[in-house]
Structures are given as C-alpha cells and as structure tokens.
C-alpha cells in the first residue's frame, strides 16, 4: 500500500471506524436526545467542534506546567469556560437553537469526548497535533449526528428540511416520503436507539471486514 493510500485510509478511519459516537461509543446521551432535526445536529456539532479544538489547544499549552495531581480539575475548568462562551454565543445569535438544544449545551462540559481527548491526546502532544485531533474528532462527531438526524427526520416526518438558525427562515424543505407513510416512532427516544443501533452495527461490521482483510494482504506479499 502506497503512502498516499495509507494517509487516506487513516483519514477515513478517523471519520468512520473511529467515530467517537459509533466507533468509540462516547457522547451517546446527547446524540440520542438532540438528533431529531438537522438543525439540532449542526448546532450541537459546531458547538462541540469549537470546544474540542480550543480545549485541546489550551490543554496542550498548559500540559507542562499543570501539576499531575490537579490536571483533571484544570482541564474541566478550561472546558467549562469554553462551553459557557459557546452557550452565550448561541443564546445571543441563535436563540431558537439555544432553546431547542436546552441543557445539552451545558452538558458538553461532561461530554466524554471532550475530556477524553484532553486527557488521552492533548495532554501528551503538541499544540498543532492537538488542534488537528480536536478538529478531526469534532468533524467525526458532527457527521455522526447528521447521519442520525437525517434518518430520524426523514423516516419520522417524511420531510428533509433545514432552517436558518439566525432568523428562523426556512432554507429548504423536501418531502421525501408520501404523506401517511411516515414512521413517527423515529421521532421518539425508541427511534433514536434503533437508529443508533443500526448505524453502530454497520460500522462494526465494516471494522470487522477490515480486520479480516489484513492477514490476507500480508500473506499475499
């Protein structure tokens, strides 16, 4: 396998097979709760990307001067500060989105993805590498939210729509299922669990297929 192919496979693995929601099973609670519409998924995804990238950068900056016995509280203070800023910005510029996401914005502080990347990666790597890691994990998380929201919104309402969060005007609305063929179950928590299970199972199957192919390739060389 060439170097370019290896880089592409690593990038694809970061976005899909190592997806924090469906591959690492982190941040599931907020994912199940807010993925009823694309608007919610995009809003939460952007907020998490903002917090992830900046928290990774700041944690990497202070990693060498933070005492080992208090590093977790220091990381939490950094993350809580960034979440507060993100919440204030969302409330100021997109109040409808702030109301839709509700308490889940504040709960970004205890999102396993944020603290997990700070502890596992940013505290051991350079600022540049930590920023890249935060961006990749944030994008991967956002793609996971979008995948779930697309399935739930289309199956649950029959309509794929997106609103402008700044002025609440509708950007587009496409009816993809005829009226009467919607499955309201997918707008409920039960539908969220079903959607999550199907996507996670598909990604796990893909992961297993990749692992099974590796010995064959080695033997063929």
Give the closest residue to 156 by CA, choosing from 171, 177, 172. 177
pLDDT of residue 9: 52
- If you average pLDDT over residues 150-172, what whole number do you get? 90
- If you average pLDDT over residues 47-59, what whole number do you get? 94
For the chain, what are the domain ranges? 17-220
Distance of alpha carbon 48 from alpha carbon 37, whole angstroms: 17
Checking if the pLDDT of 26 tops 70, the result is yes
pLDDT of residue 6: 46
DSSP β-ladder status, 170-175 and 159-163: antiparallel
Distance of alpha carbon 175 from alpha carbon 108, whole angstroms: 33
Q: Within a 10 A sphere around the Cβ of 216, how many other Cβ atoms?
A: 8
High-pLDDT (> 90) share of the chain, % = 52
Distance of alpha carbon 141 from alpha carbon 127, whole angstroms: 21
Checking if the pLDDT of 215 tops 60, the result is no
DSSP structure class, residue 68: G
**20: Cβ contacts below 8 Å, ≥ 6 apart:** 26, 27, 113, 137, 140, 141, 144
- On the 0-12 / 13-18 / 19+ scale of CB atoms within 10 A, 114 is buried
Checking if the pLDDT of 11 tops 80, the result is no
Checking if the pLDDT of 3 tops 80, the result is no
Output Rg (C-alpha) for the chain, integer angstroms: 19
Q: How far is CA 191 from CA 20, 25, 106, 115, 153, in A?
A: 20, 18, 24, 28, 10
Give the model confidence (pLDDT) of 62-109 as tens digits: 999 988 889 899 999 999 999 999 999 999 999 988 988 888 888 888
Distance of alpha carbon 191 from alpha carbon 152, whole angstroms: 7
Q: Within a 10 A sphere around the Cβ of 173, how many other Cβ atoms?
A: 10
Checking if the pLDDT of 220 tops 80, the result is no
Q: What is the pTM of this model?
A: 0.84
| Residue, of 54 and 100, whose pLDDT is higher | 54
């Amino acid at each position: 396998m060439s170097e370019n192919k290896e880089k592409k496979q690593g990038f694809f693995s970061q976005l899909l097979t190592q997806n924090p929601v469906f591959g690492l099973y982190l941040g599931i609670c907020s994912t199940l709760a807010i993925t009823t519409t694309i608007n919610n998924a995009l809003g939460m995804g952007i907020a998490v990307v903002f917090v992830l990238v900046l928290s990774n950068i700041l944690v990497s900056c202070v990693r060498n001067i933070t005492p080992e016995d208090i590093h977790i509280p220091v990381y939490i203070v950094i993350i809580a500060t960034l979440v507060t800023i993100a919440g204030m910005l969302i409330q100021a510029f997109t109040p409808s989105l702030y109301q839709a996401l509700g308490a889940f914005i504040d709960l970004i502080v205890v999102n396993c993805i944020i603290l997990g990347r700070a502890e596992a990666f940013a505290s051991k790597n350079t600022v540049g590498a930590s920023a890249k890691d935060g961006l990749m994990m944030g994008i991967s998380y956002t793609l996971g939210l979008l995948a779930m929201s697309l399935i739930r919104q289309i199956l649950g309402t029959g309509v794929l729509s997106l609103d402008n969060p700044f002025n609440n005007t509708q950007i587009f609305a496409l009816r993809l299922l005829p009226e009467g063929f919607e499955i309201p179950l997918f707008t409920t928590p039960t539908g969220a669990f079903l959607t999550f299970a199907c996507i996670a199972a598909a990604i796990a199957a893909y992961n297993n297929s990749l692992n099974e192919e590796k010995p064959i390739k080695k033997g063929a060389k």
